[in-house]
Amino acid sequence: MTDMPDTTLTGDRSHDGPSPGQYDDAAGYYVAGDPIADTKAPDGPIDERWQTRKFEARLVNPANRRKLSIIIVGTGLAGGAAAATLGEAGYNVKSFCYQDSPRRAHSIAAQGGINAAKNYKEDGDSVHRLFYDTVKGGDYRSRESNVYRLAEVSTNIIDQCVAQGVPFAREYGGLLDNRSFGGVQVSRTFYARGQTGQQLLIGAYQAMERQVKLGTVTEYTRHEMLEVIVADGQARGIIARNMVTGAIETHLADVVVLASGGYGNVFYLSTNAMGSNVTAAWRAHRKGAYMANPCYTQIHPTCIPVSGDHQSKLTLMSESLRNDGRIWVPKKAEDCTKDPRDIPEEDRDYYLERIYPSFGNLVPRDIASRQAKNMCDEGRGVGPMVGDFRRGVYLDFADAIARLGEDAVREKYDNLFDMYERITGENPYEVPMRIYPAVHYVMGGLWVDYDLQSSIKGLFVTGEANFSDHGANRLGASALMQGLADGYFVLPHTIRDYLADGPFESIDESHPAVAEALESVQARIDKLLSINGNRSVDSFHRELGNIMWEYCGMERSAEGLRKAIDMIRELRREFWTDLKVLGTADSLNQSLEKAGRVADFLELGELMCIDALNRRESCGGHFRAESQTEDGEALRHDDEFAYVAAWEWAGEDEPPVLHKEDLVYTAIEMKQRSYK
């Protein structure tokens, strides 16, 4: 979907607010650990680093590749592309997904497009400009060497996808079309109408299925990874549950790759798929993989609002709607239940136009989201009551229809208007749309080095599951780019350097690390089924989501986060004593699957709050009430927080250990974003 035009003005970096050095908000909630000194990024000019690394990465000769085995968890763009590519190279790949087919991974739902620095429009685009836009968009909280590499391989992705038959939009001359997208001034986004994600994923899926037929890739669908096996300091396999038979299976390999997606469902309601979960990543975290910047969450302003307590998921609509729609709420709370068409012009508050006269309805995502929340918190939200508030604001096309005519509006937006009407039953040509922000992506994830290797040797992490490329905020059309960059062009090079030392000493189920992993998985399943309490899994998940949304959502404060941590701890205790899961372990049991995932979300949620509490600055999607300018804008503190917060698991009920990776920019200058 289209994003906003450039809303990022640059200016000199300023330090207006008080220095936060005097604070340690998260004191007592964590333990300081050693800094991360080496990320394995090569030295030298930024545009030569990836070439250097590729050259230095050792080779594995084709005859040896078939003796090496790779486990890949997840079949979205990052996992599917990696499975296909590594299978083509001749390795033995085992691919796992919880869906019934690899083609259903949630990359499929991405709508808008994929960025690449092709410069087909000859409008001044380049690898360096894509790199610059991505670092700036991420509010200077990403690792520059990784982002540069992402921009560098972006052009290869488009070539690869076209060769696979991905039906990108084309111009009449038969060449590829581009459109402009979030936070940039060039047209570099390739797209396939409103379903770019599905088309790219089908390309990767078909390439992977070809390898299944050729025997290099074995696929395990309806399998859920429940544990990583770490033997003698190296990731050597996984424990997975066959979701149809309930069998607990051991799968061993020379290396393990997690491409298991993001954890937005910790909020219960999000635009993620119902099954999207953190379990694979969290199990790895508990075995030693650091979790980086878990509090960085992107909340998208133009989603269809919650209609009641039954709501199971939220649906995103293109924020291009803000180009023609005007956002407002009633000035008076007593008008909130009226038919909006009966509210006269003078009683409407077009609050974005009022607060941000120069950008109006086109302010960036985080601002639009936060102000919608503020209006609803003031009691001026519209639509049905959800909890104590009405959670919705109007997005009104009456002016656009009067100005352009209904046909012109239909031409631009009819698929979105249809989708809206199907879900809400209201005709947006006649009644203003109602919108509300929703969680849809997480920038945080498992910490990886330049090679995409986690802090567990032999465990690589790709796509949304890692933290590496988007800093504190992801630009539109960059998630698909990163997934495919990792899967097709980055991991296959870096993993070979690791595999050049293999095949590693063979292990089997008698190895103590395997036995321990098997035992812990079995014990956990037995426990979940034997609590026999009173509450359903969904009720716990919903309650956790409410806590996260309220205190670790669009605006966070030290007081709120401390409260949330207490509430989550109490909820977790209740979960393990009052959960009710029916059915058995030896058959398809969707309640049991959900219970395992929610158990992990209950631990992740606490870490997200601790991370948010520690980061007493506002950056990208993380807004701390204590760190804002006089005008209420986000205020970064580069002197204190220009680092990646990588958290190490220290054990049940033990405070996590914080390792800091300093962010050093050599090819780019840090600046403060401004919107006015």
Partner 1 sequence: MNLTLKIWRQAGSSDKGGIHTYEVSGISQDMSFLEMLDVLNEQLNEMGEEPIAFDSDCREGICGMCSLMINGEAHGPEVTTTCQLHMRSFKDGDTITIEPWRSAAFPVIKDLVVDRSAFDRIIQSGGYISANTGSAPEANSVPVPRDNAVRAFNVATCISCGACVAACPNGSASLFLGAKITHLGELPQGQPERWSRVVDMTAQHDHEGFGGCTNIGECTAACPKEIPLDVISQLNKDLRTAMRHGH
Which C-beta is closer to partner 1: that of 106 or that of 671?
A: 106
Nearer to partner 1, 171 or 430 (CB): 171
| Smaller CB separation from partner 1, 538 or 640 | 538
Catalytic residue among 326, 365, 391, 615: 365
In the complex, least distance from residue 584 CB atom to partner 1, rounded to whole angstroms: 9
CB 85 → partner 1: shortest distance, Å? 4
In DSSP terms, which residues pair with 227 in a beta bridge?
239
Give residue for tokens 């040509």.
429
Question: Minimal CA–CA distance to 393: which of 431, 433, 424?
Answer: 433
Minimum CB–partner distance for residue 263 and partner 1 (Å) = 16
- Number of Cβ within a 10 Å radius of residue 411: 10
Closest distance to partner 1 from the beta carbon of 580 (Å): 6
Comparing CA positions, the residue from 319, 324, 321 lying closest to residue 298 is 319
As a whole number of angstroms, the distance between CA 583 and CA 602 comes to 23
Nearest to 364 by CA among 622, 137, 147, 635: 137
Taking the complex as a whole, how short is the minimal distance between the CB of residue 365 and partner 1, in angstroms?
A: 19
Amino acid at site 262: G
Whether residue 547 contacts residue 567, with contact meaning beta carbons closer than 8 Å, is answered with yes
Nearer to partner 1, 220 or 296 (CB): 220
Q: Which is nearer to partner 1, 28 or 308 (CB)?
A: 308
- The edge-to-edge listing of strands for the beta sheet with 657-662 is 31-32, 657-662, 643-648, 291-292, 445-446
Nearer to partner 1, 489 or 498 (CB): 489
> Which residue(s) pair with 446 in the sheet?
291, 466
Q: Which is nearer to partner 1, 39 or 271 (CB)?
A: 271
Interatomic CA distance for residues 664 and 652, integer angstroms = 34
3-state secondary structure of 29: coil
- Distance CA(491)–CA(453), nearest Å, equals 9
- In our burial notation (b when 16+ CB lie closer than 10 A, e otherwise), range 558-571 reads bebbbebbebbeeb
> Whole-angstrom Cα distance, residue 491 to residue 498?
11
334 contacts 380 by C-beta, under 8 angstroms = no
Q: How far is the CB of 175 from partner 1 (least distance, A)?
A: 5
Question: Would residue 524 show up in a list of annotated catalytic residues for this protein?
Answer: no
Diameter over CA atoms, the chain: 76
Q: Which two tokens stand for residue 34?
A: 């050693």
Residues 608, 586: Cα–Cα separation, whole Å: 34
Which amino acid, residue 333?
A
> Least CB distance from residue 402 to partner 1, whole Å?
29
- Distance between CA 432 and CA 316 in Å, rounded? 17
Cβ atoms of 262 and 270 within 8 Å: the answer is no
Q: Which residues of 354-376 are buried (b: 16+ CB within 10 A; e: fewer)?
A: ebbeebebbbbbbbbbbbbbbbb
Shortest Å, Cβ 579 to partner 1: 11
For the bound state, the minimum distance from the C-beta of residue 348 to partner 1, rounded and expressed in Å, comes to 25
Strands 433-442 and 297-303: antiparallel
**435 versus 552: smaller Cβ distance to partner 1:** 435
Q: In terms of CB distance, is 238 or 317 closer to partner 1?
A: 317
Give catalytic residues, as residue numbers: 365
